[in-house]
Structure 1
Amino acid sequence: MRKGTLLANSNESSDLELAQLARAGDEAAFAEIVRRYSPRVFRFASKFFRQRSVVEEAAQEVFMKAFTQLGSYEGRGSMEGWLTRITTNTCLNMLRSAKRRPELASADLSEDESTWLENQLSDVAAERHRAGERSLVAADLADRVLGNMSPDDRVVLTLIDGEDASVKEVAEFTGWSESKVKVQAFRARRRMRAAVEKLLGKQLPPAAASS
């Protein structure tokens, strides 16, 4: 890869221009792509992994894949969407290759988490993204519950409930059909609800099942 030839106004270069330059071997062009989108990639990967070292590993793999797949980016969609698709599949593959974690038990919860569970009868996946001290406890608990779900369940709940992605967007990011996304989301929410009910030792009201 040759040294960068990108001009000082690289901030004004379009994503397609940067991709074309990077494909031609321009180091500065690819560095600009990384600069623009690494915050998004890191933030998205951190929704799946707690350890910073694992998040960094995921991000590194994402940009390695992005570099080798630059030829597939033709500018018809946003580079952010293209990188999100790569990040989604990278995280999904990493989750699938990891060993299954033991089932979460109520004894594993902190006092704050147990109290929150007892007092809350709302959707955990949506609750994890609200502001304030109360939501911090909910967010940590939701992450722990999600951490014990299947990779596919985690991905679909994170995208739909965490990123407010549409069914169509999730299908684009994962390569699944829209029908599969709908079925996966329905089943994932049902399994998450069942996991919370098991921790509570009682059923949640019907209203809490919808979101």
Structure 2
Amino acid sequence: MTKHADDGHDWDRLIAHARAGEPHAMDDLLAAARPLVLRRCAKFLPYRDDAEEAAQEALLTIATRLDDFGGRGSFAGWVTVIASNQALQTYRSMKKRFGDVESEAAGDRPDPRTTSVIAGTRLDLLDALEQLQLDHPAVVEAFVLRDLGALPYDEIAQLTGAPLGTVKARIHTARAYVRERWSGPATTL
């Protein structure tokens, strides 16, 4: 049984009922996963509305790809990967849409870097992650799962299919890279 002390859900039961097509089972599964998904998206995106949008997209992905979850690693870990990827995709999409240039259309949203240390730091981290993805794509997933998703090393190894030592090395590489490029306040990741 996949039941975690931190969330109290019997994921195996919820997944089995949803896969069996029982009435309301998918709704129950998604309702149970929603707080986890929203927390993960909110770690990346500084505005609640953006995090909500990313969470909705992630929940849709979870619903449509539930059969892809094979039990390698925990369901919460799988959900974390989907939510993290969706939040990053939402950020990239927003950045592409709005660019770094202030526009009249974005005028109702002040620059988070000037209004909130926390929100600005998130954006700086997203920028560093985006560059990390370009320069060292193999290390991003492990870094995100460990430092933003708070998953244990062994679960990251299961989810990624990489040996534990490789996972630790990737996380170390990513941390050093992000630390070197960090434009926010000095911090320990």
TM class by smaller structure: 0.5 to 0.7
For 1:183, the equivalent position in structure 2 comes to 173
Question: Is the Cα contact below 8 Å between 1:88 and 1:173 reproduced in 2?
Answer: no
Q: Deviation of residue 144 (structure 1)? A: 4.3
Asked if residue 55 in structure 1 is aligned to residue 34 in structure 2, the reply is no
Letter in 2 for 1:149: A
CA 1:174/1:49 → structure 2, altered by over 3 Å: closer, same or farther? farther
Asked if residue 36 in structure 1 is aligned to residue 32 in structure 2, the reply is yes
Secondary structure at 2:43's aligned position in 1? Answer: coil
Distance 2:129 2:95 in 1: 11
CA 1:16/1:167 → structure 2, altered by over 3 Å: closer, same or farther? closer
Question: Is the Cα contact below 8 Å between 1:88 and 1:174 reproduced in 2?
Answer: no
Secondary structure at 1:149's aligned position in 2? Answer: helix
Q: Deviation of residue 162 (structure 1)? A: 4.6
Secondary structure at 2:31's aligned position in 1? Answer: helix
CA 1:13/1:94 → structure 2, altered by over 3 Å: closer, same or farther? closer
- What is the TM-score normalised by the length of structure 2? 0.62
**What fraction of aligned residue pairs are identical, expressed as a percent?**
28
When the two chains are superposed, the root-mean-square deviation of aligned CA atoms in Å is 3.6
Unaligned 5+ segments in structure 2 are: 1-7, 102-112, 134-139
CA 1:17/1:172 → structure 2, altered by over 3 Å: closer, same or farther? same
For 1:146, the equivalent position in structure 2 comes to 125
CA 1:171/1:109 → structure 2, altered by over 3 Å: closer, same or farther? farther
Secondary structure at 1:102's aligned position in 2? Answer: coil
Unaligned 5+ segments in structure 1 are: 1-11, 111-136, 198-207
1:89 to 67, 85, 88: 85
Secondary structure at 1:46's aligned position in 2? Answer: helix
Q: Deviation of residue 142 (structure 1)? A: 2.1
Letter in 1 for 2:36: R
In the alignment of these two chains, the number of paired residues is 158
1:71 to 67, 71, 75: 67
Q: Deviation of residue 92 (structure 1)? A: 2.5
With 160-169 and 57-66 compared, the bigger mean Cα shift is at: 160-169
Distance 1:76 1:169 in 2: 9
Question: Is the Cα contact below 8 Å between 2:18 and 2:26 reproduced in 1?
Answer: yes
Question: Is the Cα contact below 8 Å between 2:58 and 2:83 reproduced in 1?
Answer: yes
Asked if residue 45 in structure 1 is aligned to residue 35 in structure 2, the reply is no
- What is the TM-score normalised by the length of structure 1? 0.57
- 1:109-138 per-residue CA deviation (whole Å, 9 max, x = no partner) reads 46xxxxxxxxxxxxxxxxxxxxxxxxxx65
